[in-house]
Amino acid sequence: MHITYASFPYLSAILLSCVVGLLAIMLIPEERKALIRWVSAIFSGITLVLSACLFLAYDKSLGGLQFAEKASWVPSLGISYFNAADGFNLPLLLLTGIVFFTGVLTMWELEMRVKEFFAHYFLLVTAVFGLFMSMDLFFIFVWYDVSLFPMYLLIAVWGHTRKEYGAMKLTLYLLSGSALILPAIIYLFAKSGLHTFDILSLMQPGIFTAEQQKFAFLLLYLGFGILAGVWPFHTWSPVGHVAAPTGVSMVHAGVLMKVGAFGILRVAIFLCPEGWQYYAQLMALLAAIGIIYGALVGLRQTDLKYVIGYSSVSHMGVVGLGLATVTAQGLNGAVFQMFTHGVMTALLFSSVGYIYDRTHTKMIPELGGLSRIMPVASTYFIVAALAGMGVPGLANFWGELMVFIAAFKVYPVRGIVAVLALLVTALFMLRVVQRAFYGPGNERYAQLPDVTFCEGIPRMILVAVLVLFGLYPSLLLDVIQSASIPFMNGLPR
Amino acid sequence: MKWMTFGPEIYTLLAALWFLLLSLGARPDAKREHLTSLLLAAVGVMVSVAAIKAEGHLFVNAYRVDFFSQVFKVMLSLGLFLIVCICGNLTDIRERNRHDFYILLFVCTLAMMLLVSGNHLLTIYVSLELSSYSLYVLVALRRDQNFGLEAGIKYFLVGIFASGVMIFGLALLYATTGATTLDDLVKVLPPIINQPAVIIGLLFTVSGFFFKLAVFPFHIWAPDIYQGSMNQVAAYIATASKVAAIAVLARVIASAGEGSTYLVHVLGVLSIISMTVGNLAAIAQQDLKRLLAYSTIAHAGYVLIGILSLNAAGYAGAVYYAMAVLVMKFTVFLVIVEVADDGRNVQIEQLAGLHRRSPILALALMVSLFSLAGIPPTMGFTGKFLLFVAAMGRGYFTLVLIAMINVVVSLYYYLLVIKAAYLLEPKEALPPLNVSPFIKLLSGVLAAVMIAAGLFPYYLIELADAAAKALM
């Protein structure tokens, strides 16, 4: 694979900006809440700008790994600090930057233990960035677990609705995932005989036998699959998303679930392609069940956040289906869907967060007629819901389209069933919109203020991203293709 | 004989004698005694560090000084220093016993230093007994007679049983090999290691160390003794004593060579049972020290994973893990000592509101608990990682998987403690904790060390590798 080393260390700069932000927040006294918010906004803004620059500076015609940075970390174990960007992780780095910044803005009104919240939040995002950019198995695992570090407290302290249960369930589920990932990683390390954790060296064909690949792939798929919300290991996700505070839900559903899917791609599929081909049928089956199950369960929910939570399970199933096709088109669709679903879910949670902060309820029957009381806030939610239904003109349409075209060719039956299930998703989204935003209003909420311009900024950014990539998908698709096509061509047949 | 080779031991002995002298004449003065001991322990760390390169055999081959033993002596003297740091407020023993407390603490450290350097089997046995007897008395010193005495007697009974088993094992080992020093055992043991009498002799011998390390089936004492002894003594048992046990266990097992399948099987089973029993029992605990006792049992299981790999990588993992145990266990005990200013036992729910009462202690507690659970980027994770890599290198996949599942279980109860410190609010409003600047600094440094050693493990891994090479 082609590697270009970085002239300016963009990737480390992103991490550094998160870490410096974290340290700055820790040094500010607890009482200076406004200062803490501004510092958070500035550093997350820098991060967003850096990740956007990175996305634009990537040379699509050249392809391969760019902006690579490599330094030996623990030579005796073959661990190196190795970051690089390619078509697979660039969209996700951009996504993380967007959700990070908008998440900070969405949490602007937080009053309780502000300093601790943003410190934990920065640590979480640092870990996610680190994982997306790392090309070293050891670091991927470390970043995976570092993201667990702040998660429990973020949900348990600042959350609501069975928060302690949700936080504990989520943390233990994700750690169970790492209990499968770490043995698999060390297994691959020991079996390769190369004494390195470098993914590029380990992904050369012929290093692992087919049996080893099948064995390790299954462990890695299940381990990362837990985080990706693969059915039947998804149960932590709706509970966790509902319990988490708004900004954390955004990062969590928007970015962290993609970490799981990305882990399957970067670690399991890169290192064990034969295992991938062998288990593709199983992956497609679980993904299809996830799509249907998420849709049907979502239909019965009365809590707005649960609706979004189950729609996430369904949409992540689409990602899984794309990965299971073992085609370049499927990979394109999967990565595209990861990006767009991340933005869309962040927008949904951000809108619901606003409504919940004002009305103090997220039960659909108690709401109603909100579009007359807060038209702007409702618009944001409705745009996100339309995106979730896959309406053309918004970015999600393209991701789902690509995945389904690829899936029809490989798995016709599962593909058709999955598309039908997406109709159910559309149905329940419309139902939510109708019940909560139209129909008779609730008198209690008549005096509530609408979103002001400043409060709306994070949501505007998210809407703009959805529209931009909905109208101009090749901006993203070309980047992804620069990685997926060479990767598929390089696979042994 | 070069005196520096034996320097740390002589120094520690002199320090203990100094307190003996004080106990004869000087009037008790808590502040002065604490400062003296702090100074003596700090100099002790420097002496051990100065002697780190020392090498040689002493006393007609009864005693072996090499890099492995010297690294552990540094750890032990550091452990002593840390423990002395939290002895500023010894409310839990009588005033007239305070000198005895310091004497025994230094003597026990001396015994452990002798233990990690022991080459003759009887040297090992005698120094093990010396350290155990000091600890029996230390445990019984607690002011609350019923609690302390009961714990002391329990500890004593289980301890002499284990040492009885050990001396029987030594006899068997001598009968089958004719060797009395580890240097000789290395030569004669590997070819005959799979004979029943030899393997039984070796296993009985290491039972004495299993008792120290709290490995199943010699673990039953740990919860009661942790609960019954005063917080500082429990901290000492949980840190320094464990470090010494890991060292001597690695040294004796290393003499068996690499080819013993029986040994691996037995150690593997003990490791699995220890971590499972420890972690499952810890879930139900309310008393923080009992919880730590069970987590110690689980950690003994993890250490065995490295030991049973029977190669340099495994021993290096064990050495690294010993360092990690020292730092992370101590940090938790530091928090316990500070929260329980009157020396009582701390229930988990009594940590409520800690994040407001003392943010730095809460932070140190959180980092050390995540480190104990083995979540990166902490020292505890790197330790586990090294152990797992060593075991996987020998092909023990199942063992690693079981250990990882145990990590998940353990995170559950560590999270309950973190929840108490960060989430629960006390029933009546409690004032901020009165923590001295020194302790604040110390807990900050410890938390930073745990994270730094997790992020930049390179030097410590090199150190552990070098120590393990000296062992082989």
Digit-coded pLDDT (tens) for A20-62: 999 999 999 988 889 999 999 999 999 999 999 999 999 888 8
Cα A399 → chain centroid: 14
| ipTM associated with this complex | 0.90
φ, ψ dihedrals at A69, nearest 5°: -135, 130
> Which residues on B lie below 8 Å from A172 (Cβ)?
408, 411-412
Contact A186 B401 (CB under 8 A): no
pTM score over 0.80: yes
**Beta carbon pairs, A and B, within 8 Å:** 83
Contact B408 A168 (CB under 8 A): no
Q: Which tokens go with A184?
A: 């698999």
**Dmax over Cα atoms in chain B, in whole Å?**
67
What are A67-84's pLDDT values in tens digits?
A: 999 999 988 889 999 999
> Which residues on A lie below 8 Å from B462 (Cβ)?
76
Q: Which residues of chain B have pLDDT under 70?
A: 1-2, 26, 145
Angle value at C-alpha A285, between A279 and A290, nearest 5 degrees:
125
Closest partner residue to A183 among B404, B408, B462, by Cβ?
Answer: B404
CA B215 to CA B206: how far, in whole Å?
11
Least confident of A150-164, A241-255, A258-272, A436-450: A436-450
Residue A316 pLDDT: 92
Contact A142 B370 (CB under 8 A): no
Q: Which of A13, A271, A227 is nearest to A129 (CA)?
A: A13
Residue B204: CA count within 13 A, CB half-sphere: 19
Q: Which of A388, A244, A380 is nearest to A316 (CA)?
A: A388
| Residue B229: DSSP 8-state | S
CA-based nearest distance A177→chain B, Å: 9
> Which residues on B lie below 8 Å from A186 (Cβ)?
385, 388-389, 392, 400
CA-based nearest distance B458→chain A, Å: 5
Q: Which tokens go with A113?
A: 């233990």
**DSSP per residue, A140-199:** HHHHHHHTTTTHHHHHHHH--SSHHHHHHHHHHHHHHHHHHHHHHHHHHHHHH-S---BH
CA-based nearest distance B268→chain A, Å: 17
φ, ψ dihedrals at B353, nearest 5°: 75, 10
In which domain, by residue range, is B266 found? 3-471
> Which residues on A lie below 8 Å from B423 (Cβ)?
153, 156-157, 164
Percentage of chain A modeled with pLDDT above 90: 55
pLDDT level of residue A144 (50, 70, 90 thresholds) = very high
Q: Which tokens go with B198?
A: 């030899």
- Is the four-CA dihedral A322, A323, A326, A327 of positive or negative sign? positive
Closest partner residue to B415 among A141, A171, A186, by Cβ?
Answer: A171
Q: Which of B107, B160, B98 is nearest to B134 (CA)?
A: B107
Q: Which of A52, A21, A49, A51 is nearest to A37 (CA)?
A: A21
- Is the four-CA dihedral B119, B125, B127, B131 of positive or negative sign? positive
Residue B148 pLDDT: 78
> Which residues on A lie below 8 Å from B461 (Cβ)?
74, 76-77
Residue A328 pLDDT: 92
Q: Characterize B289-302 residue by residue with b for buried, 16 or more Cβ atoms within 10 angstroms of its Cβ, and e for exposed.
A: bbbbbbbbbbbbbb
> Which residues on A lie below 8 Å from B360 (Cβ)?
none
* Residues in a beta bridge with B64: B57
Q: B24: exposed, middle or buried (C-beta count within 10 Å: 0-12, 13-18, 19+)?
A: exposed
Q: Is there a contact between A261 and A226 (Cβ–Cβ < 8 Å)? A: no
**Dmax over Cα atoms in chain A, in whole Å?**
70
CA B232 to CA B235: how far, in whole Å?
5
Contact B423 A171 (CB under 8 A): no
What are A276-318's pLDDT values in tens digits?
A: 999 999 999 999 999 999 988 988 888 888 888 898 999 999 9
**A100 touching B (Cβ < 8 Å):** no
* Residues in a beta bridge with B181: B120
Closest partner residue to B411 among A146, A153, A171, by Cβ?
Answer: A171
Residue A461 pLDDT: 93
> Which residues on B lie below 8 Å from A141 (Cβ)?
376
Q: Which of A160, A176, A152, A178 is nearest to A252 (CA)?
A: A152
Helices H / strands E in chain A, number of each: 22, 3
CA B396 to CA B406: how far, in whole Å?
16
* Residues in a beta bridge with A5: A68
Q: Which of B136, B76, B130, B103 is nearest to B15 (CA)?
A: B103
**Which residue from B minimizes the CA distance to A187?**
B392
H or E segment to which residue B63 belongs? strand B63-65
Residue A363 pLDDT: 84
> Which residues on A lie below 8 Å from B457 (Cβ)?
74
Is A85 strand, coil or helix? strand
Q: Which tokens go with A373?
A: 């009381």
CA-based nearest distance A379→chain B, Å: 36
Strands A79-85 and A65-74: antiparallel
What are A204-233's pLDDT values in tens digits?
A: 888 899 999 999 999 999 999 999 989 889
Number of separate domains in chain B? 1
Residue A435 pLDDT: 85
Residue A493 pLDDT: 60
Closest partner residue to B461 among A74, A178, A179, by Cβ?
Answer: A74
Residue B343 pLDDT: 81
What is the pLDDT averaged over residues A172-180? 92
Domain boundaries, chain A: 3-489
